[in-house]
Structure 1
C-alpha cells in the first residue's frame, strides 16, 4: 500500500519506493533501540521535550516522515505530522501503520494542510516545542524568522557534486553519476547536480559520449510500466529548474537537452550541460530535477574548491582509484555524507547516517539514522556523577582537576566545592568519551568490500557566553568541553558582570584552566557581531539567550547551543562536534585487492 501510494501520489517508480519502505522499517526499529543508550545511564533521567512538529517532503514520502515520527515518539514526545501537500495520500497510509501498531491518535496527530497558510500557524504556535523539517533552506529560514528560539532540526537543500579524476575507473564513474543524478528524476536532496571533471577526463570525447549515451538509456514514462527508470516530476518545471532547462550561459553547451515526453509537462528526459563556468547560475543553484552541469577542473584541489564554493554540504562523491587522492579529498571536502567510487544517494540507517553541513543543515546537525539522533529531542537531568572507565591519555585539564581534588580534600577552594567537584567529574567524563567515541572512526557493519565510517569533526571556533545566572560549574564545564573536543575557545563575559564566578575565572586557577584562549568582555551586540567569526555560541540555558541574539542568529541560520550543561560527556559533547559519514567502496567488481589479506 505504501509503495502504491507513493507511485500514485508522487510519481515515484517502484524500484525507488521499495527501498523507502525498508528504510522506514529500519528507522522504526533503530530509534527505540538507540534511546536505551541514554535511558540506561544510571546518573541520568530522561524525558521528551514535549510536542514535536514533523514537516516532511514529497520526494521521500515514506522513509523521511517515518524517521521523524519514530525518533520523536521514541524520545518520549507527542507528534503533529504535517506532510507535504503533494504527498498527503502516502502520509495518510503511513499514519495508518502507526495507529494500527498501537500508537494513539492523540500521540500522533495527522494535520494535512497548506504550508503557506495553516503550516505557518503550526510552526509559530507556542505549544510546539521542537520542529523536524526536511525541505528547502528557505522554508527553514522562514520558520526561524517566525520563531527565532525554536529548536529546529532541519535537513535542507544540496548542490551535490561528483568529482571524477584522471585516476578513476571512467566506466564506473558514468554508471554512478547516472544513477545518482537521475534516479527519482533527480528529485533527491542528495542527487548529483554537478559533475566536476579533471581536465584530462573533461577533454576525453569518449567519456562525454558514454555519459550522454547512458543518460539517453534512462526510460521515461508511467510508473506503472516497470521498464521505466524515471517517472513524472512532482510538478511541471518552474522557477530555477525551468530556467535551467531553457537557458545556456556563456561557455555552456548541451550534450543532452531535456525534452518533454508524450507532450506531458510532468515527464522530461535527462539533461546534461557541458562547460559550466565557476560562479555562474548552474554552478551554485539547486535545481531539483533531471539535470546535471559538467565543469572542468585543473586538478583535484581545484575541483574541491569548486564544490565547496556552492555553500551547500549535503552529499559529495569522488571517483578515483588513487588512495592518496581519496585521503586528500576526505580531508578537504565540506559535506556531511561522502562517497568514494559509488553513487552518492541511498544512505542506509546507521550504515550511512544522513545529514549535511553549511547551507544543507539547520540546527545542531546530528545525523538522521545515527546513534545520537534521538538525544536532541530529549531533556536530561543528572541525578549523580557520570560513570567512566580508565582514561588512556594525559591532558593538562586532567592534571589541573586532579590538583583541585587534592586541594578540596584538604579543605581548600571550599567556596566552590560543589561546582569544582562536578567539574572534576565532567572533565574525566569528557576525556573518556572523546577517547572512546568522539575521536574514533566507527564502522558498525564491517562489510567486505565497503567501509562505512561515522566520524566526529570538531565544530571549530566556539564562543562560550557567560550569564549572571551561570554557576561556576556551567562555565568551567563548557570551557573544558570546547578544549577537550579540539575546538578553539573564546570566553565571552558580559561587560560589568562582577561576581564570584568571574572572580574565579580571572584568578590564578581560572586562568590556568582557560590557558591561552581569548577572554573578551562583551555586550550582547558584540556577541551578535561575532557570529560571522565563530562556528557556534554556547549558552548554559535557553532562557539565558537574549531575544536579540536569537533573532540575529535566525537571519543566517546560525545555531545557538543552549541545552543544559551536563557532566555526562556522552550528552554534553554532542554540542561541539559535527558528524560526517564516509562510504568507501574499495572492492573492484568483487575483487578486494590487498584488503583481502589484511
Structure 2
C-alpha cells in the first residue's frame, strides 16, 4: 500500500493492512476457555490470517502458574499438523516456505526468551506450532509481524500494564481479552486501541455485519470504514453539498446555530449510540464510534472555503475532538507534524504533494474529502469505527446485557 502511495501521494487508497495482535489474560479469566481461544486464534489457518493472535499478554499470577503453562503447552502439542486434504489435520501448511520474520521467529530466541513449545519443520511448508516464553517489552518479537504459527507470551504485572503493552505496537487490527470481571472488561474496552475487540472468544473469524472488520493506526489506510459495516459504501465516493440547506443562510454563510444542531442531532441519534443489529442473546456484537483521541490539524490550503473551517470547528466540538487550524507555510507545517502527531490532517482546498508524502512517511492520514453540512456524513471524519464482540454465555447460562 505504501508503495502505491509513493507513486502518487494523493492517491485515494483504501486498504486494510496487517496487525500485531494480542490477547490479554487476567487472573479473572476462565483459564480453560482462555487456552482454547488462544490456540484457535494463534494457530487457526497456521497463524496466517491478518487477525491472528501473535502475542498473549498474561497477568503475573497466571503467567507464573505452572498449571496454566502446562495446559497451554498440552493444547498446542495436540494440534495435528498435516496436509490440508487429510481430514485429521487441524493445522495445514504455510502458503510458502518460511522466510524473513517468520523464519527468524521459528529459529531464534532473543534475550530472556525460551521455548514453552519448540516448533519443528516437518516439510517444506509444514511446521509444528511454537510458543515462546519471556517475550520482553519493546523487543523484536513484541513488534515484528510474523504471519505464522508462533505465539509469544509476555508477563504483565496487572491489567494496566497489559493494556500498555497491547497498545504499544504501531498496529491496531484485532485485540482480545480473557476475563470474567465486568469492571476489567469495561476498563479494557474503553482503553485498547484496535478496530476489532473480542472478549472471551477467539479474535479471528469476523462475520460481515455482525463484526464489521477493519483496524486502527497503521492497520488501515484511507477512510477507515469497516468492511461489512454501515459506512463502507459511503466512503467509495466524494460527498458534497449540492445546494444550500437549513445550515446555510441566504448569504451562503454558515448559520452556526442550525449547523451545530444538525451535527448534534446526528451525534445523539447515531454516533453516540451503540449498535447491535444482530441482536443475539448469547453474544453481543456492538458497533460503535470512538472520537479521534489525538488532535486533528485542519490545513487551510489554496482555494479553501472559510465556511468549511467553521463547519470543521462545529463538528470537532460536537465530537469532542481537539482541532488545530493551520495556515502555516509548508516548512512550518512539516515541522509541526513531528511535535503534534495528529490523528489526521484535514485538507481544505489544495496543498502540495510534499504534505501528502510527509504524512504518509509518518503514518498520518490525510483527509482531503469535502466538508459537508450533513452530520451523518461529516462526523465520520471525526470518529473511528470499532466493533466489540463479547461471549455472554457460560455453561449454558446467558448473562443479562448491561
* Matched position secondary structure for 1:296: strand
Q: TM-score with structure 1 length normalisation? A: 0.64
Q: How far, CA to CA, are the matches of 1:157 and 1:166 in structure 2?
A: 29
2:394 aligned with 1:535 = no
Deviation at 1:537, TM superposition (A): 1.5
Deviation at 1:540, TM superposition (A): 2.5
Is residue 253–residue 275 contact of structure 1 (8 Å, CA) maintained in 2?
Answer: yes
Is residue 426–residue 567 contact of structure 1 (8 Å, CA) maintained in 2?
Answer: yes
Is residue 302–residue 351 contact of structure 2 (8 Å, CA) maintained in 1?
Answer: no
The aligned counterpart of 2:68 is 207
2:337 aligned with 1:478 = no
The aligned counterpart of 2:375 is 569
Is residue 426–residue 566 contact of structure 1 (8 Å, CA) maintained in 2?
Answer: no
Structure 1 gaps of 5+ residues are 1-139, 388-400, 409-415, 494-521
Deviation at 1:236, TM superposition (A): 0.9
Is residue 63–residue 155 contact of structure 2 (8 Å, CA) maintained in 1?
Answer: yes
Deviation at 1:356, TM superposition (A): 0.9
2:274 aligned with 1:441 = yes
2:262 aligned with 1:429 = yes
Deviation at 1:190, TM superposition (A): 0.6
**CA offsets 1:25-50 (integer angstroms, 9 cap, x no match):** xxxxxxxxxxxxxxxxxxxxxxxxxx
Q: Which protein has greater RCO, CA pairs closer than 8 Å, 6+ apart?
A: 2
Q: How far, CA to CA, are the matches of 2:142 and 2:359 in structure 1?
A: 27
Structure 2 gaps of 5+ residues are none
Give the total of aligned pairs: 399
Equivalent residue for 1:490, pick from 324, 332, 337: 324
User: How does 1:192-231 map onto structure 2 within 5 Å?
Assistant: 192-231=53-92
Q: How far, CA to CA, are the matches of 1:386 and 1:351 in structure 2?
A: 35
Deviation at 1:428, TM superposition (A): 2.7
Q: TM-score with structure 2 length normalisation? A: 0.95
- Greater radius of gyration (CA): 1
Q: How far, CA to CA, are the matches of 2:172 and 2:302 in structure 1?
A: 37
Is residue 386–residue 425 contact of structure 1 (8 Å, CA) maintained in 2?
Answer: no
Root-mean-square deviation over aligned CA pairs: 1.8
The aligned counterpart of 1:551 is 357
The aligned counterpart of 1:353 is 212
**CA offsets 1:474-510 (integer angstroms, 9 cap, x no match):** 22112111211110021223xxxxxxxxxxxxxxxxx
2:51 aligned with 1:190 = yes
The aligned counterpart of 1:173 is 34
**CA offsets 1:335-383 (integer angstroms, 9 cap, x no match):** 1111100000111111111111122112221111110011111133433
Q: How far, CA to CA, are the matches of 1:372 and 1:481 in structure 2?
A: 18
2:199 aligned with 1:343 = no
Q: How far, CA to CA, are the matches of 1:492 and 1:277 in structure 2?
A: 40
User: How does 1:290-309 map onto structure 2 within 5 Å?
Assistant: 290-309=149-168
Q: After superposing the two structures, state which structure 1 stretch, 226-235 or 467-476, moved more.
A: 467-476
Is residue 352–residue 582 contact of structure 1 (8 Å, CA) maintained in 2?
Answer: yes
The aligned counterpart of 1:316 is 175
Q: How far, CA to CA, are the matches of 1:220 and 1:164 in structure 2?
A: 26
Q: Which structure carries more helix by proportion? A: 1
User: How does 1:110-129 map onto structure 2 within 5 Å?
Assistant: none
